[in-house]
Amino acid sequence: MTPKHPVARKPKAARAKKSVREKQPAYPAYPDLLSRITVNPRVLHGQACLRGLRIPVHLVVGLVASGMSFDEILDDYPDLERDDIRAALEYAAFVTRENIIPVPARTAA
């Protein structure tokens, strides 16, 4: 039996739902912030720093992860600006986006 109103349908593979990857925002979300990140082999052995200040990105990300507020970080590091902290977080999100870090499975004791 043929349908009354034939509809051209795409093959099932072409109709597949969008993957999670396609729904994620494009990174970097704020490319202008990433211009604050500098990498120089002569400064801190090539670690990513903020505006060449010898303040490594990993330090700032660690401070945020430890629970410090932006204002507390800015008080402790007066050379930093609020956008520097945001740039560090954006950079961390960018470099970890596609990297898969293997975590050993835990066994029940």
**Could you write out the DSSP letters of every residue in 52-107?**
TSS-BHHHHHHHHHTT--HHHHHHH-TT--HHHHHHHHHHHHHHHSS-----PPP-
Average pLDDT of the residues in 54-70: 96
Contact 87, 34 (CB under 8 A): yes
The mean pLDDT value for 28-42 works out to 83
Which CATH number do you get for residue 50?
Answer: 1.10.10.10
- pLDDT over 70 percentage in the chain: 69
Does the residue 109 lie in any domain?
no
> Which pLDDT belongs to residue 47?
93
Range of the domain at 40: 26-96
Whole-model pTM? Answer: 0.65
Top-confidence residue, 89 or 6: 89
The answer to whether residue 108 sits within a structural domain is no
Among 80, 76, 86, residue whose Cα is nearest residue 51: 80
Count CB-CB contacts under 10 A for residue 27.
Answer: 15
Burial class (CB in 10 A: 0-12, 13-18, 19+), 66: exposed
Domain assignment present for 12? no
Mean pLDDT in the chain?
80
Residue 89 has pLDDT above 80, yes or no: yes
Which has more pLDDT, 107 or 8?
107
How many Å separate Cα 20 from the centre of its chain? 16
Residue range 8-32, pLDDT digits in tens: 555 555 555 555 455 555 556 667 8
Q: Within a domain: residue 83?
A: yes
CA distance 52 to 8: 59
Number of domains in the chain: 1
CA distance linking residue 1 with residue 85, whole number of Å: 65
What confidence tens digit (pLDDT) does each residue in 70-86 have?
A: 999 999 999 999 999 99
